[in-house]
Structure 1
Amino acid sequence: MKNNPKTHDALFKWLITSFTEEFFAHYFPEIEIGQYRFIDKEFISKYEALKESLKGDLFLVMEIEIDGQLRETVIQIEHQSQKEDMSKRVFKYACYAWLLKEKPVWSIVIYTDEAVWRKQMPDSFWFGFDRVHKKQLYYFDVIKVKAEKSADLIKKHSLMCKLLALKADDKGTDPEKLIYEIYLAADQMKDKLTNDQLLLIEQWINAYKKVPDKALESIKKEVKMDMIATTISEHIFLEGKNKGRSEGKAEGKTEGKIEGKIEILENLFLQKILTREQFEKAIEPLRQQLKELME
């Protein structure tokens, strides 16, 4: 997993979609975030030519309410695992986002590279010129995960911050203690966490842990987190079962159970945890069952 940058893109996208409020509260505490929705599928379907270029990349687009205002803003989030100037790409896709929604665009680049920055990466792109203002610049926010200390992040109440401690500057910290604190917090919050979030925790720790598997299993047993769903198949089964139970009971039909599983698969595909081939293979029999029930 550590050698596949696309996997890391998917994990960071999953992190933000699972802990959206915590993400904005941590990095932009001065901004109040209201209602929001993700519009990835709508974006990519509108721009057919972009499907291949965006395939496998982290490109989150969402509409969001800011500071209590009813105006909608499109949030564009890019993840970059190497030190590279992203300004041209950010502006290019910000233009696409504006064309789709015709609403203000807020662009954010998240760097998770290991390099020590002596010079900051650009946070603007020169896109225009006029005689009064001269250069016209498009500005965007830059987040450098490695700029934060793991020792500080692990102390925060936010579970997202605790997870980021595994990617931040961990000098002077005990890698086993970091993982212990994450699992302990997850166990204490288990009743409030979804199976989707629990699965993310497991996948995230497996990707960024710096301890042997034996030590990891020992920690999980100690904090009683060794029974959580750790595979996608278990996750789909549990979510489909739970969602089907609640919806099926209310409707008195089997449709709720099937629709619940379809929704889970769509979310996993959106988060790029499932490939298109895996998604289509898993969802086709469910669609067929649903069609037969509706006839």
Structure 2
Amino acid sequence: MSVATLVKEESTGYTKHDQLFKQLIHTFFEEFLAAYFPEVHRNIDFQSIKPFSEEVHTDLLEGSTRRLDIVIETKLKGTDTIIIVHVEPQSTTQTDFHDRMFRYFSLLYNKYRKPIIPIAVFSYDESWEKDEYTMRFPFFHVLTFNYMTLHLQKKNWRDYIQSDNPVAAALLSKMGFSNEERIQVKIEFLKMMARMELDPARQRLIYGVFETYLKLNKGEEEELMKEIKQMDDAEKILELPISYEERGIEKGKKIGEQIGKERGEQSGIKKVAREMLKKGLSIEFIAEVTYLEKSEIQRLAKECKENF
């Protein structure tokens, strides 16, 4: 029995938001740590990364059963010490979350017997936050379990706009900003995207996360365009899809068609799909990005598993 099958949830806390965060962090794991946990980033050997995507990953099975979100094995830099990094995105307030983090930690340690770095990512608006679980009696202190936390609403978005970090760009839309700053946040996001020049699949992922949480209305989009046209780097920014909902999907299709022509029908797209499967991304997300049929992606997944 795997660690995953032992974890039961009382409520349907897992949402599409948790899935978005899982895909984002799995794709940009190194960048995620660099942006928000630099002390961990400095001590991790990224050449030894091994995601437990098959065995332990976010999913809903048989009602309320839930698997852990992100569990990655690696080494401490400059040593042979194997460690596990567990990242748990949380999109809704749960006052017993600290208890759940301790249970997850206990299950992982019981299974792998390796040092664990536990990290919680809070993406809700409420201020609730705990970073420890304590078990004590009036006559005896049993233990205190600590975990690292990232509460996005408590972050200042302006602190990240010069970083050229794709995770920070995507999550600008979940950081603390006022309604009056919405347009400026989108402008800075687009400037970051223009500088990073990501490939279409990764660009689509970053846009998808950003626009899930910050979607400008028509009036704001018009004001956005006016401001962009007055900027020095307006031409480069305007080459980007300002909104994937309105322009990006069609552009994505054209990119996919072009890749297919250049690499022999759809062989290039299938290659991208195989790489995304190896990273543990969902079939639904891969279908959305590559425009392949789900049945085709399932076939590719089967081939990857047989060849592994």
Same fold (TM over 0.5): yes
Give the letter aligned to residue 53 of structure 1: T
TM-score (norm 2): 0.68
Cα pair 1:91 1:125 within 8 Å, conserved: no
* Gapped regions of structure 2 (runs ≥ 5): 1-12
Q: Could you tell me which of 14, 17, 21 is aligned with 2:30?
A: 21
User: Are 1:53 and 2:68 counterparts?
Assistant: no
* RMSD, matched Cα: 4.3
Q: Secondary structure at the match of 1:76?
A: strand
TM-score, normalization by structure 1? 0.71
CA contact (8 A) 1:65 1:73 kept: yes
Which of the residues 167, 171, 194 maps onto 1:164? Answer: 171
- Could you say which residue in structure 2 is the equivalent of 1:251? none
Contact 1:166–1:178 under 8 Å retained in 2? yes
| Cα drift, residue 172 of structure 1 | 7.4
How far apart, CA to CA, are the structure 2 residues paired with 1:29 and 1:260?
Answer: 30
| Contact in 2 for aligned 1:62/1:76 (Cα 8 Å) | yes
Q: Secondary structure at the match of 1:42?
A: coil
Say whether 1:226 aligns with 2:273: no
Answer whether contact 2:57 2:70 (CA < 8 A) is retained.
no
**Residue 207 of structure 2 aligns with which residue?**
202
- How has the CA–CA distance of structure 1 residues 107 and 50 changed in structure 2, closer, same or farther, with 3 Å as cutoff? farther
Deviation of 1:232 (Å): 11
Determine the C-alpha separation between the residues in 2 that align with 1:75 and 1:213: 42
Is residue 273 of structure 1 aligned with residue 285 of structure 2?
yes
Distance in 2 of aligned mates of 1:171 and 1:214: 17
CA distance in 1, matches of 2:102, 2:84: 13
Q: Is the 8 A contact 2:124 2:153 kept in 1?
A: yes
C-alpha displacement of 1:175: 1.2
DSSP-derived class of the 2:211 partner: helix
C-alpha distance 281-171 of structure 1, shift in aligned 2 (>3 A) = same
Query: What is the DSSP-based 3-state SS (H/G/I as helix, E as strand, rest coil) of the residue aligned with 2:177?
Result: coil
**Identity of matched residues, %:** 21
User: Is the contact made by 2:57 and 2:69 (CA closer than 8 Å) also made in structure 1?
Assistant: no
1:39 touches 1:61 (CA, 8 Å); kept in 2? yes
How far residue 112 of structure 1 moved from its aligned partner, in angstroms, is 1.3
* 1:77 corresponds to 2:87: yes
Residues 43 and 97 in structure 1, CA contact (< 8 A), matched pair in contact too? no
- Aligned counterpart, 2:5: none
For structure 1, list consecutive stretches of 5 or more residues without a partner in the other structure. 249-253
Equivalent pairs, count: 267
Identify which of 173, 180, 183 aligns with 2:187: 180
